[in-house]
Amino acid sequence: MNAKLLTLSAAAVYLTGMLVGYYMDSDFDFSLPEVQPTVAMMADSKSKLFCSIAGNNISVALINIAGGFSLGTISILNTFYNGAVLGYALSVAGENFSSILIIRHLLPHAIEIVAIIPSGSLGFYLGLYLLKKFILGRSHQFDYQKFLILSATTLVILLLAAVLEVYVSFSG
């Protein structure tokens, strides 16, 4: 498992998505009903908020990892999409808020990125393995130990990110 190359590839996909999102037209019309669920979410208890954020973060990672069964296509699209969402959020926030406020509220999400990128690389690895083994017919060894360790590390980072988002991002 060439983790470095796969992680760099996932980072490149994420950063490309971020750039696309940042330079997207930010003139979308957001009506109040679309914003209400987010505002209502902030009134929830910290434990409910943690479960919601952790569940969302973990689902992103699982989509990336399971995306390997699409030979990595879904992993690429999901990683790109998550980068685009952050890029767009930074673009819109930059037009409306101070840099300090943006950093304070979005910095905990940087921890999340540290997990999204490796989960993308795990999806790429699984996709490459399936491609080599079943489509190209090459004998290829799957590194289960490294795959499981990186998956568990990703899970721990995502749980930590959820804690930081609840107690830093949503702390006023």
* CA distance linking residue 131 with residue 117, whole number of Å: 21
Residue-wise pLDDT tens digits, 35-68? 444 545 556 788 999 999 999 999 999 999 999 9
- The reported pLDDT for the residue numbered 168 is 76
Residue-wise pLDDT tens digits, 5-24? 999 999 999 999 999 999 98
- The reported pLDDT for the residue numbered 14 is 98
- The reported pLDDT for the residue numbered 1 is 67
* CA distance linking residue 75 with residue 72, whole number of Å: 5
147: amino acid identity, one letter: F
In the predicted structure, residue 3 carries a pLDDT above the cut 90: no
H or E element, residue 55 = helix 46-66
- The reported pLDDT for the residue numbered 85 is 92
- Print burial letters for 128-162: b (CB count within 10 Å at least 16), e (below 16): bbbeeeeeeeeeeeeeeeebeebeeebbebbbbbb
Q: Are residues 6 and 124 in contact, defined by beta-carbon separation less than 8 angstroms?
A: yes
The model's pTM is 0.85
25 phi and psi angles, rounded to 5 deg: -65, 125
Q: Any idea where the domains of the chain sit in the sequence?
A: 3-19+51-169
Task: Read off the pLDDT band of 32 (50, 70, 90).
Answer: very low
Q: Are residues 59 and 119 in contact, defined by beta-carbon separation less than 8 angstroms?
A: no
Q: Tell me which of 3 and 81 has the higher pLDDT.
A: 81
Q: What is the mean pLDDT of residues 150-163?
A: 95
Task: Read off the pLDDT band of 83 (50, 70, 90).
Answer: very high
Q: Tell me which of 104 and 40 has the higher pLDDT.
A: 104
- The reported pLDDT for the residue numbered 54 is 94
Weakest-pLDDT range from 119-123, 131-135, 147-151, 168-172 = 168-172
